[in-house]
Amino acid sequence: MGTITDLQGTFKLHNGVQMPYFGLGVYLSKDGNEVISAVRDALNHGYRHIDTAAIYKNEQGVGTGLRESEVDREDVFVVSKVWNDDQGYDSTLKAFDASLERLGMDYLDLYLIHWPKGELSKDTWRAMERLYHEKRIRAIGVSNFLKHHLEDVMTGAEIVPMVNQMEFHPYLVQQDLMGFCTQNKIQYEAWSPMMQGKIFDMDEFRKLGEKYNKTAAQVVLRWDLQKGVVTIPKSSKKERIIANADIFDFELSPEDVQLLDNLDKGHRFGPDPDNFDF
């Protein structure tokens, strides 16, 4: 894990690529003006990492937002994901081309398998390895993969996934999975860091917010980074996008990091990677 310095700071992936540890998630941001202005505002404020997915149906807006910003494409870390229906070797190659076309880009910085689909994910991974070797993606990884899913895809794989994007928050720490990822140099990344807004009703966050003179959101996002976890809070409101990034002028004490770790209940707000039907 690198030092946490500022909004454009990075963690280094195992292939040497620098991944900005703070980004904008665009899940549920509507394609068109909503996502275009969110991406443009974030980039113009200093964000350098945008995370989308084919299933979000807003890749086109993400590409437009980037082009309308003051930032060059090569200075932004752009992530998308292959959806479950498109998994498999040939269909992944096609899905990747379709994502690039919608984004209006000729390469991606990171491409992820969105959910584990057993044997099919091994074929998907081979396609992603090919795209990586062809230098059309700078890094490849997975999302929602538990330890056994990772072990499965790594069996026979040429390249170990560089990233695993998981539901991650104080109620779902999955320290064992984090340990496995660290051991295999797989960068851990959080989705749903704010527990679908539940952190705003919790005493622990209210007290820490008062202590550090920060919002609950800022406290949890700082906790992510201090845990060595990349985080991509979603917002389409300019003020919130700016406020979320205001986490580089304070540091949680080790005791307070531990206090949040201790809230772990193994509780998911999203689907269980071992039991989902889409």
Q: Which residues contact 275 (CB under 8 A, 6 or more apart)?
A: none
Structure-token pair, residue 252: 């949680």
Q: Which residues contact 224 (CB under 8 A, 6 or more apart)?
A: 168, 190, 193, 230, 231
Q: Which residues contact 133 (CB under 8 A, 6 or more apart)?
A: none
> CA 138, CA 79: separation in Å to the nearest integer?
10
Active-site residue identified among 21, 47, 56, 188: 56
Fill in the DSSP letter of residue 54: G
Q: Are 192 and 167 within 8 A, CB to CB?
A: yes
Neighbours of 241 (CB within 10 A): 22
Please give the angle made by the CA atoms of 7, 10 and 15, to the nearest 5 degrees: 160
Strands 49-51, 77-82: pairing kind:
parallel
Fill in the DSSP letter of residue 78: E
**3-state secondary structure (DSSP) of residue 240:** helix
89 is catalytic: no
Q: Residue 80: beta bridge partners?
A: 111
Q: Name the nearest CA neighbour of 125 among 95, 159, 98, 148.
A: 159
Catalytic site residues? 56
